């Protein structure tokens, strides 16, 4: 980006009369731009910030749309932006004869002043492909229980976090097959959705809290208390362990005190219809004020018919699985559906399955056709001759997209290695 200022005062001036003003003008031209450094920062920082924000959002939306079309996602991260600013100042005083036919030895009586300023901005932007083994492994690695607990304690609704990042709770499925390429048969999801929505209402009423509780975790079977001497107690303490003594049977157990993630329920809400809905949906033991959060501790195909679950056992998703899941909230143009660009899902009766209820209130990306994106688009991207966008008034989709964006930023970081770096001197 460059721009030039027009020459200053190109007319002929008598020398004796304008020497002092010209000196002042020269000084003004030469000192112009002394504040160019701070001024350049004011003029460029926010535009660069906005450009990076907009293109990062467009890239994420594009990858979500690609997944819906069973296309391969790809990402570039902005590794570095170097902005080079240049100001060139010029002042020239050209002697000029006042009349033709002047005597050769006569002094110049007039001058032609010329002054100008040119300004250039030559940014250099480095883009790094995100495709190394470490990133791919992280993309496929599910969240930990602590990670889910962290998200549950943020300002995002718990129903959004659980619908987005959990495959199931106590093996009650959350459209598990939607965590990958679009399946042929519709996955079950209604019981999970019913339970999570009840949990969300309890959160809104302030009747649940996610936190931790200290517990003693044994590491071996009990031994006679008489075999535990003072040296054994000291050595255990040095390694972060302790002995728990049972006076009833005179035994001792070696273990460690750790904090476990828990869901706490207000005792006053135990008999409410909302709590009963939540407990029923996930086959929990009723009447409890706390349930421990565990990860895949409950065996598959376990049944709560005889003994209800006393834990909230979860199976977290990875970032890629979460992106696949929300991709089913991308509406497909009829032309693409008829052309087979996307897979059609059917229910058990052979009817075309509507993905709308699965992602309703969570994420929706609409489509439009034309040369420009819709005016009400929060973020939009062009793919296969159509615009796909998130509406500006769709606050649920915007919140989910923001959550995905923040987590993808944690993962999509520039890493050193042997990956190629694409450097674009776009100001040339």
Contact between 120 and 1 (Cβ < 8 Å): yes
**Rounded Cα distance, 145 and 262, in Å:** 10
Cβ partners under 8 Å of residue 423, min gap 6: 124, 125, 126, 127
At 294 the three-state DSSP class reads: strand
Q: 408 to each of 54, 77, 190, 317, 320, how far by Cα in Å?
A: 15, 11, 28, 14, 10
pLDDT of residue 87: 62
**Which residues in the chain come in under a pLDDT of 50?**
4-13, 29-30, 411-420, 422, 424, 426-428
Looking at residue 408, its pLDDT comes to 75
CB 367 within 8 A of CB 382: no
How wide is the angle at C-alpha 290 spanned by C-alphas 287 and 296, nearest 5°?
Answer: 110
What value, to the nearest 5°, has the Cα angle with vertex 303 and ends 300 and 307? Answer: 130
What stretches of 269-424 show up as alpha helix (H) in DSSP? Answer: 273-281, 319-327, 334-339, 356-359, 395-411
Query: Phi, psi at residue 425, to the nearest 5°?
Result: -80, 75
Helix axes 319-327, 158-165, angle to 10 degrees: 100
Does residue 388 contact residue 330 with C-beta atoms inside 8 Å? Answer: yes
Long-range contact list for 221-227, CB < 8 A, 24+ apart?
221/253, 222/246, 222/249, 222/251, 222/252, 222/253, 223/251, 223/252, 223/253, 223/254, 224/250, 224/251, 224/252, 225/250, 225/251, 225/252, 226/250, 227/252
Q: Say which DSSP state 9 is in.
A: -
pTM of the predicted model as reported, rounded to 2 decimal places: 0.77
Cβ pair 61, 390 in contact under 8 A: yes
User: What are 299-330's pLDDT values in tens digits?
Assistant: 887 665 555 899 999 999 999 999 999 999 99
Q: What is the per-residue pLDDT for 311?
A: 93
* Long-range contacts at 103-110 (CB < 8 A, ≥ 24 apart): 108/15, 109/14, 109/15, 109/16, 110/12, 110/13, 110/14, 110/15
Distance CA 318, CA 141 (A): 5
Domain boundaries, the chain: 2-129, 133-207+266-411, 214-259
253: which strand partners?
Answer: 244
Cα 168 to chain centroid distance, Å, stands at 23
Q: Which residues contact 277 (CB under 8 A, 6 or more apart)?
A: 194, 195, 198
Which tokens belong to 263?
Answer: 């869901």
* pLDDT score of 328: 97
């Amino acid at each position: 980006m460059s721009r030039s200022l027009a020459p200053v005062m190109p007319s002929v001036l008598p020398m004796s009369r304008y020497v002092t003003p010209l000196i002042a003008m020269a000084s003004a031209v030469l000192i112009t731009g002394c504040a160019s450094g701070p001024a350049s920062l004011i003029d460029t920082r926010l535009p660069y910030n906005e450009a990076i924000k907009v293109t990062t959002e467009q890239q994420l939306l594009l990858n979500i749309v690609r997944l819906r079309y069973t296309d391969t996602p790809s990402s570039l991260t902005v590794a570095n932006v170097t902005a080079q600013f240049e100001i060139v100042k010029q002042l020239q005083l050209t002697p000029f004869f006042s009349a033709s036919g002047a005597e050769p030895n006569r002094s110049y009586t007039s001058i032609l002043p010329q002054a100008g300023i040119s300004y250039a901005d030559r940014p250099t932007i480095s883009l790094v492909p995100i495709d190394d083994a470490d990133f791919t492994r992280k993309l496929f690695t599910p969240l930990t229980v602590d990670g889910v607990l962290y998200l549950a304690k943020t300002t995002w609704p718990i129903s959004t976090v659980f619908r987005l990042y959990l495959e199931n709770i106590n093996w009650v499925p959350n459209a598990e097959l939607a965590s990958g390429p679009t399946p042929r048969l519709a996955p079950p999801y209604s019981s999970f959705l019913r339970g999570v929505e009840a949990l969300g209402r309890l959160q809104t009423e302030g009747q649940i809290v996610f936190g931790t509780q200290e517990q003693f975790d044994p590491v071996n079977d009990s031994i006679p208390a008489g075999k535990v001497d003072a040296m054994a107690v000291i050595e255990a303490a040095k390694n972060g362990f302790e002995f728990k003594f049972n006076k009833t049977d005179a035994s001792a157990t070696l273990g460690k005190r750790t904090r476990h993630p828990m869901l706490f329920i207000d005792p006053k809400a135990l008999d409410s219809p909302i709590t009963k809905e939540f407990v029923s949906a996930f086959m929990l033991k009723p009447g409890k004020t706390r349930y421990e959060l565990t990860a895949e501790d409950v065996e598959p195909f376990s049944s709560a018919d005889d003994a209800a679950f006393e834990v909230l056992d979860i199976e977290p998703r990875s970032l890629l699985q979460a992106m696949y899941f929300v991709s089913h909230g991308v509406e497909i143009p009829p032309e693409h559906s008829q052309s087979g660009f996307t897979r059609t899902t059917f229910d058990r009766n052979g009817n075309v399955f509507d993905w709308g209820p699965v992602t309703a209130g969570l994420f929706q990306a609409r489509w439009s056709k034309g040369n420009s994106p819709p005016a009400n688009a929060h973020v939009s991207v062009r793919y296969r001759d159509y615009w796909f966008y998130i509406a500006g008034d769709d606050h649920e989709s915007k919140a989910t997209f923001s959550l995905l964006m923040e987590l993808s930023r944690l993962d999509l970081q520039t890493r050193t290695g042997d990956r190629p770096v694409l450097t674009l001197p776009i100001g040339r």
